[in-house]
Amino acid sequence: MEVLRSPGFWLGVALTLLGFGNWIVGHDKVLDHHELLRRTQATVTLAPPDDFEQLNERTNATLLKPFRVSSGRVSALEQKLDFYRVVEAGGRVMTLLGLIVVGSTLLRQAHNGNRAVRG
């Protein structure tokens, strides 16, 4: 029960819980925004340019620019998706760090307990 008085133990538990929460929420939001992005992106089918003799590189670049640049809504969804990917990855790191802190605190307490018993 000595371990419950250790601040390292509680720090590790807090990091683990916060990290796990971020991991779960981030993963859920990544799935949601990935689906929204998939539904929002319009697929454009274009005829081969060989059929249009009047098109050249310059006119192709001008005409196809709107299809190559993301619209504001899609761009915002991509930014949110990236944000939630960072939240998810940060949650994994925090969870791992919290488990390491808890584990090291438990090992240190066990080692100190064995030393006290011996002598």
Q: Which residue has the tokens 């969870």?
A: 95
Q: Enumerate the H helices of 1-119 as residue ranges.
A: 7-40, 57-68, 72-118
41 DSSP assignment: S
Q: Which residue has the tokens 């619209």?
A: 71
The pLDDT, as a whole number, for residue 98 is 97
The pLDDT, as a whole number, for residue 14 is 97
The pLDDT, as a whole number, for residue 31 is 95
The pLDDT, as a whole number, for residue 73 is 63
Ranges of residues in the chain with a pLDDT under 70 are 41-53, 60, 64-74, 116-119
The pLDDT, as a whole number, for residue 74 is 66
pTM above 0.75, yes or no: no
Report the residue count for the chain. 119
Are residues 19 and 88 in contact, defined by beta-carbon separation less than 8 angstroms? no
Q: Which residue has the tokens 């790191």?
A: 93
Q: What residues contact residue 15 under an 8 Å CB cut-off, 6+ apart?
A: 94, 95, 97, 98, 101
